[in-house]
A and B are shown apart, each in its own frame.
Chain A
Amino acid sequence: MILEVTNLRKHYRQRAGIFPALRSRERFIPAVDGVSFCLEEHETVGLVGESGCGKTTIGRAILRLTPATSGRIVFDGHDITAMSARELRPLRSQMQMIFQDLDAALNPKMRVRAILAEAITTHHRLSDGEVARRIGELLEQVNLKASKLSNFPRELAGGEKRRVGIARALAVGAHFIVADEPTSALDVSIQAQVVNLLRDLQRQLGLSYLFISHDLEVVQLISRRVAVMYLGKIVEMGLADRIARAARHPYTHLLWSALVEGQSKEASHAPLNTRTGAWEPFDFERPVSGCRFAPRCPVYEARGRPAVCTDAATEPQLHDIGGRHYVAGHFPV
């Protein structure tokens, strides 16, 4: 077990205005609200869910890039939840993030060579010759031309930036990688290359991934298990194949059926006649009690709005339905 996350919470504080007098109107956004899952060595777990549901926040909290509000994170046998920066240092090189924002990790004033050299030497003291050798190795691993080493990030195409980002994560020697939307800013042909690259690297180097994406199809391709999130909570989790062909949570069905045009999707994904356009966005200022998905849930509608769905005392919890498949909801489809 490389990673074990138990009951993770991250609540962001949100001020109403910039004036201190208004601080009393301070509100909280429960971005991640009680999430538990684990990741085995060499495994890829996919995390899907719609924009703003807390995927990036989970990734950042696991890597201790942002402090968790509560919960427990065990990495490689070490409880890192409350570790000091110094204790954390040796572990930092083993876990890395590929950031959603293509430019986030690339200093615009540094050439590619310097970016990689900096990453290589952050955690290890190496001679110039060794650094050059390591850079050569990384270029080969991520399939990037050596001529790009003298480029600045702005002189790289999106796919190349992504490769540099991956090389940078590998440079420090990470074997657990949080890949946050690694394909979303790229066009189709490059997406394919990046997904294939990540799969090859996993095989070669024995990496483990938490693969974050809003694209259920891409997640499906790369993950062994998939967790589906809705507004800060995991609502369904299981083997990728089960999530694709035998999803039980109404939200997972909604995600599948919303794939525009739904090309090549088996009919089993759309048993619910979901009108994806007709929903109200969620409002944290007017939270629903009980199941957070109720306002958009077709099953809730179809069953005549059962009280159990919106009763705070019976908020659905993840439970095992067999075959390593977990669902949170009162009326699995």
Chain B
Amino acid sequence: MGAPLLEIENLRTYFHSRSKRAFIRAVDGVTMVIARGETLSVVGESGSGKSVTALSIMGLLDAGPGVISGKITFRTDGGERNLLHDLEHYVTLGEQDGRIMEVSKDEAGWRKQVERIMAEVRGKEIAMIFQNPKSALNPFVTVGHQITEAIRLHTPTKHPREAKERSLYWLERVKMDSPRLRFDNYPYGLSGGMCQRAMIAMALSSEPALLIADEPTTGLDATIQSTIVGLLAELKSELGIATLLISHDIRVVSRLADDVAVMYGGTVVEYGPAPEILGARFGLKHPYTAALLASRPSAQNVEEKGGLPAIEGEVPDPIDVPRGCRFYARCNRVTEDIRDACARHEPALKELTPGHHVRCWLYGD
């Protein structure tokens, strides 16, 4: 197997809240690993920091302070790189009782540094499918032209006509209807799902080593979704593309993922092989993972409970992250023995069985 393709260690990404004059701790100490040619899936409720994690890797955050600490190691044939190289020279952190309370960052300097690091990586070695497709496509350039340019920029295919053939090939592979017609379409003339497919075609056309897919199948119906999921699976075996798959759809995740990371309130609360995390048989689960799995819509749930079961309560406010376990306010498995610990101290991510980590006071003593 060798060393993993991408290793994220203790990533923290904060934003200033203009209205509240406080930090939004969107990503607060995330650690995860993506092996070569494998799919790591990130699941978790809305607002848990999944997209911000992805944007941090890509160096595409448009608000400050952004990434403030961590290390992202990316290994290709060309060697090993830290995508956050030298970050510590741009940031000074002030801590109080182990919690970051002050951040000063040379944002302009860091933005330049990130561009230097990411210029040869972004879109080429790491490509991304965004959650909001409309925002990822240039509204003033036809879809076909955008894909053709990406191919000429990022792959050995330089000749315009060959590049055009290649982009039609990808449009067909993502099941775009009337591909030749769509080639000349501006994004506004495409339906929501078509925009999504155009963007997927663009990301795949540069044949990256790592594909970051943020909710790639929302807005797609079952037939096309199943085609795209099939396509991602094919690419994995054909081209060995590793994937960071962010998805709320447990069905998609269980079909594609080798490993799963469950995020809650800006951290990873459980992490390990997909069958152990998603399967019904494994008893060792983080209480949040269990609740998440129980809330997936199914005919059975509806008949028994008269509606879709939602997890009670709300995700923690990232402006006001609780001191203890972040799931404490919603957790129904706190016992008297551990209540005090749950309420006051954040549990660490502990390895329960090889490769399977859980962050919960119930486990691992």
| A interface, CB within 8 angstroms of B | 12, 14-17, 27, 29, 48-52, 56-57, 100-103, 111, 150-152, 154-155, 157-159, 181, 184-193, 195-196, 199, 214-218, 220-221, 254-256, 258-261, 263-265, 276-277, 279, 281-285
Q: Can you list 20 A-B contacts (CB < 8 A)? A: A12-B189, A14-B184, A51-B194, A51-B220, A100-B219, A103-B132, A185-B219, A187-B43, A191-B248, A192-B309, A215-B222, A216-B222, A254-B223, A256-B222, A263-B251, A264-B300, A276-B227, A279-B175, A283-B178, A283-B179
B149 cross-chain contacts in A, Cβ below 8 A: none
B230 cross-chain contacts in A, Cβ below 8 A: 277
By beta carbon, the residue of chain B nearest A282 is B177
A259 cross-chain contacts in B, Cβ below 8 A: 222, 226, 251
10 interchain residue pairs of minimum CB distance: A51-B193, A187-B248, A214-B221, A192-B308, A157-B47, A50-B221, A258-B222, A192-B310, A281-B177, A282-B177
CA distance A263 to B221 in the complex (A): 16
Contact call A191/B221, Cβ cutoff below 8 A: no
Task: Verify if B237 is at the interface (C-beta below 8 Å from A).
Answer: no
By beta carbon, the residue of chain B nearest A25 is B184
By beta carbon, the residue of chain A nearest B219 is A184
| B interface, CB within 8 angstroms of A | 17-20, 24, 43-47, 63, 131-132, 134-135, 172, 175-181, 184-185, 189-194, 196-197, 215, 218-227, 229-230, 248-252, 254-255, 292, 295-300, 302, 307-311, 315
CA distance A193 to B178 in the complex (A): 37
Contact call A155/B251, Cβ cutoff below 8 A: no
Contact call A264/B295, Cβ cutoff below 8 A: no
By beta carbon, the residue of chain A nearest B297 is A217
Contact call A214/B307, Cβ cutoff below 8 A: no
Contact call A258/B192, Cβ cutoff below 8 A: no
Contact call A283/B177, Cβ cutoff below 8 A: yes
Query: What's the nearest-Cβ distance from chain A to residue B173, in Å?
Result: 10
By beta carbon, the residue of chain B nearest A192 is B308
* Besides A51-B219, A256-B222, 14 new A-B residue pairs in contact (Cβ under 8 A), listed by A number: A15-B184, A49-B221, A51-B193, A185-B219, A192-B308, A193-B310, A214-B220, A218-B297, A220-B299, A258-B222, A258-B223, A263-B251, A277-B226, A282-B177
